[in-house]
Amino acid sequence: MATPTLDKADAAGTPEPGFADSPYITATFRIRRFNPEVSAEAVWEDFQLEIDPKERVLDALHKIKWDHDGTLTFRRSCAHGICGSDAMRINGKNRLACKTLIKDINPAKPITVEPIKGLTVLKDLVVDMEPFFQAYRDVMPFLITKETNEPTRERLQTAEDRERFDDTTKCILCAACTSSCPVFWNDGQYFGPAAIVNAHRFIFDSRDDAGEQRLEILNDKDGVWRCRTTFNCTDACPRGIEVTKAIQEVKRALITRRF
């Protein structure tokens, strides 16, 4: 196992968060590595870094990649929790690496970083997102209206009607919820929480006319009834969406046919 150590001079490239007095600490990152071009087996590898605990886990991954091991592979883009690229399992919980500060995950012990579960690992922390996006596309995630003549101005919507589905519009399709769901781990056919969240976003939009169709899709054997209300998804969501509540609302709408 390689255990390279970073010194402070190396830390220049990544911005330090806004605390002048923060001391550097030594932290160990234990990362699940997999590269089928090299070996069919995944292995754990340890990296020791001197790092400001107020930095993000993503900063630590960058330090490793940029200064020690360029082969370490992960997705990322925005670095502030808005693009949904970097969901991973950090100390056994699904989180965005760019939204997780090192000080908040007990850096006294080795910090484990693994790919999210239930989707095929392609290399290191990169998984195949296609099945996830397929489930999303299957719920018809777009506004469908019956009106034959488009209005010339905007459709009207009261602030209350707009508020009704506000929570589920926040989704960034990061897959943290779906890949934390034990039902999804056991059966990849299950739509998974993220697809249901995105169906909810339209079912409860007063401007949409295809709620019934979407409910029928989710009434399927791989649909909403598979949910066992474990709340893993709500805990995992980096956008603070009440995922389980949204799923419950869809279930209730299926029973009452009111939404």
Partner 1 sequence: MKIHKYDTVIVGAGGAGMRAAIESTKRSRTAVLTKLYPTRSHTGAAQGGMAAALANVEEDNWEWHTFDTIKGGDYLVDQDAAEILAKEAIDAVLDLEKMGLPFNRTPDGTIDQRRFGGHSRNHGEAPVRRSCYAADRTGHMILQTLYQNCVKEGVEFFNEFYVLDQLITEVDGVKTSAGVVAYELATGEIHVFQAKAVIYASGGTGKFFKVTSNAHTLTGDGQAAVYRRGLPLEDMEFFQFHPTGIWRMGILLTEGARGEGGILRNKDGERFMEKYAPVMKDLASRDVVSRSIYTEIREGRGCGPEGDHVYLDLTHLPPEQLDAKLPDITEFARTYLGIEPYTDPIPIQPTAHYAMGGIPTNVQGEVLADNTTVVPGLYAAGEVACVSVHGANRLGTNSLLDINVFGRRAGIAAAQYSATVDHVELPEDPASLVVSQIERLRSSTGGERVADIRRELQETMDANVMVFRTEQTIKTAVEKIAELRERYLNVSVQDKGKRFNTDLLEAVELGNLLDLAEVMAVSALARKESRGGHYREDYPNRDDVNFMRHTMAYREVGDDGTESIRLDYKPVVQTRYQPMERKY
Burial of 185 (0-12, 13-18, 19+ CB in 10 A): middle
Rounded distance, CA 128 to CA 118, Å?
A: 10
Query: Do strands 43-51 and 25-33 pair parallel, antiparallel, or not at all (unpaired)?
Result: antiparallel
Partner from partner 1, ligand SF4, ligand FES, none binding residue 205, C-beta < 5-8 Å depending on class: partner 1
Q: Which of residues 213-242 bind ligand SF4 (CB under 6 A)?
A: 236-237, 239, 241
Residue 154 is encoded by which pair of tokens?
């905007």
- Which tokens go with 174? 């990061």
Closest to 211 measured CA to CA, from 221, 220, 200: 200
- CA gap 93, 111 in Å, rounded: 11
- Closest CB to ligand SF4 among residues 25, 83: 83
Query: From the list ligand FES, ligand SF4, partner 1, none, which binds 25 (C-beta under 5 to 8 Å, kind-based)?
Result: none
Residues 87-116 binding ligand FES (CB under 6 A) are 96, 98
Kindly indicate which of the ranges 77-85, 178-186, 187-195, 250-258 contains the residues binding partner 1, using the contact rule CB under 8 A: 77-85
**Burial readout 215-232 (b: 16 or more C-beta within 10 A, e: otherwise):** bebbeeebbbebbeeeeb
# of chain residues touching partner 1 (CB under 8 A): 66
88 touches ligand SF4 (CB under 6 A): no
| Contact call for residue 81 and ligand FES (CB under 6 A) | yes
Q: Give residues in contact with partner 1 (CB under 8 A).
A: 12-13, 15-20, 35-38, 54, 65-67, 69-71, 73-85, 99, 101, 122-124, 126, 129, 133, 137, 141-143, 150-159, 162, 165-166, 169-173, 202, 205, 207-208
